[in-house]
């Protein structure tokens, strides 16, 4: 006898924002890196678990974020992997997972499925027409769920991320 009662499938569309920069790849990545925090993630995780109050949690998160109010949670250098096969012809490409646990908490308390999409991914890659900074809008990911409170938080997050990408591209 199976313990699965039902399997649900939901269509989730996505809107992607791409900002294209004429600046060198390294300069764009450096600007973005300067705007976000870079905590020691294992230590940060321990501190979050040890937080006794919401005020403690807020203090810990705020100390870990950068000027943009966000932190880098993971960094994947896809270009380094491509380079193994393509050598000097490999375009540079980095995927960053960034976010703010306080913002994520606000979305998830209204819509548990929001945790599937946060923290968010920013892709920075070299192409013939410049350095592309791409981000899938959180509001578009949450729209099918129809939760106004989570969507409001998502729109605020989208604004923060788009501002970050625009500033890094300048």
Cα–Cα distances in angstroms (integers) from residue 23 to residues 50, 63, 123, 130, 135, in the given order: 42, 30, 16, 8, 18
pTM: 0.90
Tens digits of pLDDT across the chain (170 residues)? 567 678 888 888 899 999 999 999 999 999 999 999 999 999 999 999 999 999 999 999 999 999 999 999 999 999 999 999 999 899 999 999 999 999 999 999 999 999 999 999 999 999 999 999 999 999 999 999 999 999 999 999 999 999 999 999 99
CA separation for the pair 131, 133 (Å, rounded): 7
In a domain, 33, yes or no: yes
Total domain count, the chain? 1
- Residue 151: CATH number of its domain: 3.30.310.70
Q: Which 8-state DSSP code applies to residue 114?
A: G
> Does the residue 74 lie in any domain?
yes
């Amino acid at each position: 006898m199976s313990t699965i009662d039902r399997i649900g499938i939901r269509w989730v569309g996505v809107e992607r924002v791409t900002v294209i920069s004429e600046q060198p790849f390294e300069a764009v990545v450096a600007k973005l890196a300067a705007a976000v925090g870079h905590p020691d993630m294992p230590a940060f995780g321990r501190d979050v678990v040890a937080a006794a109050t919401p005020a403690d949690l807020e203090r810990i998160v705020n100390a870990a974020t950068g000027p943009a109010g966000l932190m880098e949670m993971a960094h994947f250098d896809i270009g380094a992997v491509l380079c193994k096969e393509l050598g000097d012809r490999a375009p540079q490409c980095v995927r960053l997972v960034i976010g703010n646990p306080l913002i994520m908490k606000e979305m998830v308390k209204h819509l548990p499925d929001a945790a599937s999409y946060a923290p968010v991914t920013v892709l920075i890659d070299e192409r013939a027409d410049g350095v592309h900074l791409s981000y899938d809008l959180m509001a578009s990911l949450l729209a099918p769920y129809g939760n106004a409170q989570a969507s409001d938080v998502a729109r605020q997050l989208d604004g923060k991320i788009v501002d970050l990408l625009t500033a890094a591209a300048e």
